[in-house]
Each structure stands twice: as structure tokens, then as C-alpha cells.
Amino acid sequence: MPTQRRARSRTFEEVLAQIEHRIATMGLTVGDRLPGERQLAEQLQVSRSSVREALRVLETLGVLSSQVGRGPDAGAVLTSHPTTPLTDLLRLNLGLATLTEQEIIATRLMIEQWSAAHHSTAASLRTMGEALAAMDTAAAPEEFVDQDIAFHVALVDAAGNRLNSAIMRALRNALRQYAVEAVTRLGHTRDLQADHRRIYEAIAAGDTTASVTAVTQHLARAYPSTAIG
């Protein structure tokens, strides 16, 4: 009587399980193709609609990309774009008021502090430097923010954790408009750039403690209304 909602076994879920099973047993990975929708429906003895719903789920999760037409690039190809579903997830939950900007900002600070303490690759330093220079010449707030995102994403990329990188990209995507408005309203790009330079220098010098401190102070300035620490 408590209206116990039992998960019905829907056809598309069975298709989903079959596809996942193929990925596991056949060792499929990014770049490999799945059979066509009609062929898959035939093989699994289900309708094409059910196959399509399963493929839509995989596409939503960023592991599949469908291309129309004909040839080697057509059809359903396995990919990996974990940032896309994460961004959608954050945007929707913000819209539903089941997540707040402050929570996202707190997670951002956590990841950046961790990244500043774990930077290892030198390759990302060049990307950070390029974004730094581009911010100096940025005309519009949108342009500045996009380069700011590139700078901070590169910082996280430098730590070499793809999960954190995907989350970081999603966070910045979801709050991009927030950042544009903040820059437009406050316009303290000079201060922000000074922070960026301190972060860059600390990273380049390999000074972990200084890097974490610089990141923390920068975010405190970027989100003055948010109690972070």
C-alpha cells in the first residue's frame, strides 16, 4: 500500500544491457562502431524504437555519437565526452533548485585547490600562459571569461585526473553566465589577472603551498559573496 514503485524491466533497458555487455566482452572502446539501428533491432528481436531509446540514453551519457549518411564515419560510434552529461546535469539541477551556485562554487574551489597541490605536467603551463595573455587583450567580458575558463581548466588538467577535469569543465560551463555577469558588474579584471599571474608563477616555480594559497585567494576574490575557505 505504500505504493511501492517497482522498476519495470523495459525493453530499451534490456537493449542497453546488451550493448554494455558487448562493450565489455568484445573490448569495444572509443572509435568503434555499433551495428545500425535496424540491424541491432533484428539481432535483439526488438523494435527499432526501443533500440533508438537505448542509443539515446548512451548519447545522453556522452559515450555515443550518431552520424547520418553512409560510410565509415556514419552510424553510431563510441566516444567519450563526459563533460556534456555533467554540464546538463548541473544545469538541470540548478533549474530545479536542487543544487545551488554556492555548492558548485565550493566544489570548484575544492578541485582547484587539489589540482594546485597535485600539478605534475609541464605541458599545461603553456596553455595557461596563452590564456593569461589572451585575457590581457580581451575586449568583452565573454571573451575574458572564456579565457579565464581555459586558464583554470588547464590548471586542473595539469593534475592529470580526467574525472576532475571533466567535472571542472562542467562546473565552468554551468556557471559561465554567472561569471560573465560578475565580470560585467564588478569589472575587476586587473585584480583577477594579478591573481592569475601569482597562480601561474607559483605553479611554474613548483611551489605547492604558494599555489594553493594563490588559488584560494583568487576564488575568494572572484566570489566575494560566497563564504568559502
Partner DNA sequence: GACCAAATATGGTCTGACCATACACCGCCG
Partner DNA sequence: CGGCGGTGTATGGTCAGACCATATTTGGTC
Q: Give the footprint of a copy of itself on this chain (CB under 8 A).
A: 3, 5, 8, 12, 20, 23-24, 28-30, 49, 52-53, 56-58, 60-63, 67-68, 73, 78, 80, 82, 85-86, 88-90, 92-93, 95-99, 103-104, 106-107, 110-111, 114, 161-164, 167
Q: Does 68 bind DNA (CB under 7 A)?
A: yes
In the window 17-56, what residues touch DNA (CB under 7 A)? 34, 36-39, 46-50, 52-53, 55
Q: Does 58 bind DNA (CB under 7 A)?
A: no
Dihedral angle computed from the Cα positions of residues 180, 185, 191 and 195, in that order, rounded to the nearest 10 degrees = -30
Give just the sign of the alpha carbon dihedral 220, 96, 142, 145: positive
128 binds, among a copy of itself, DNA, none (CB under 5 to 8 A by kind): none
Q: With respect to DNA, which residue has the nearer C-beta, 10 or 21?
A: 10
Q: Does 84 bind DNA (CB under 7 A)?
A: no
- 222 residue type, one letter: A
Question: CA–CA separation, 84 vs 53, rounded Å?
Answer: 18
Q: With respect to DNA, which residue has the nearer C-beta, 66 or 107?
A: 66
Question: CA–CA separation, 13 vs 8, rounded Å?
Answer: 10
User: Of the listed pieces 60-68, 88-96, 145-153, 164-172, which binds DNA according to CB under 7 A?
Assistant: 60-68
Q: With respect to DNA, which residue has the nearer C-beta, 40 or 158?
A: 40
Q: With respect to a copy of itself, which residue has the nearer C-beta, 55 or 145?
A: 55
46 binds, among DNA, a copy of itself, none (CB under 5 to 8 A by kind): DNA
The residues of the shown chain that bind DNA, judged by CB under 7 A, are 2-4, 6, 8, 10-12, 34, 36-39, 46-50, 52-53, 55, 66-76
